[in-house]
Amino acid sequence: MIWIAVDGVHMHPRVLGGARPAVGAGEVVLDELGEVLSVNNLSGTFQCHADSLLTVVGGLLMQGAMIDSDVVHRYEV
């Protein structure tokens, strides 16, 4: 399951993920039509392994997202 919240005020992890452990975390930027413009693993709260971004991208693809490889940005933590 992928939890998404609008960018803004910090949300406590228990609210955002239903108190379940995070497999991946980061940012997804969409245009007004819902097209993925950028996806990354940049998170100030969760320090997931950089490879977890592949899990997140896979989850988005399984839910019907169309993602070009040039919009995926992996950060090492």
Distance CA 59, CA 70 (A): 17
pLDDT band at 49 (very low <50, low <70, confident <90, very high): confident
- Judged against a pLDDT cut of 90, whether residue 61 lies above it is answered with yes
pLDDT value, residue 32: 92
Compute CA 17 distance to the chain's CA centroid, rounded to the nearest angstrom.
Answer: 12
Where are the domains positioned within the chain?
A: 42-68
Question: Average pLDDT of the chain?
Answer: 83
pLDDT at 77: 58
The closest of 41, 37, 42 to 71, measured between CA atoms, is 37
The pLDDT of residue 29 is 92
CA 59 to chain CA mean position, Å: 10
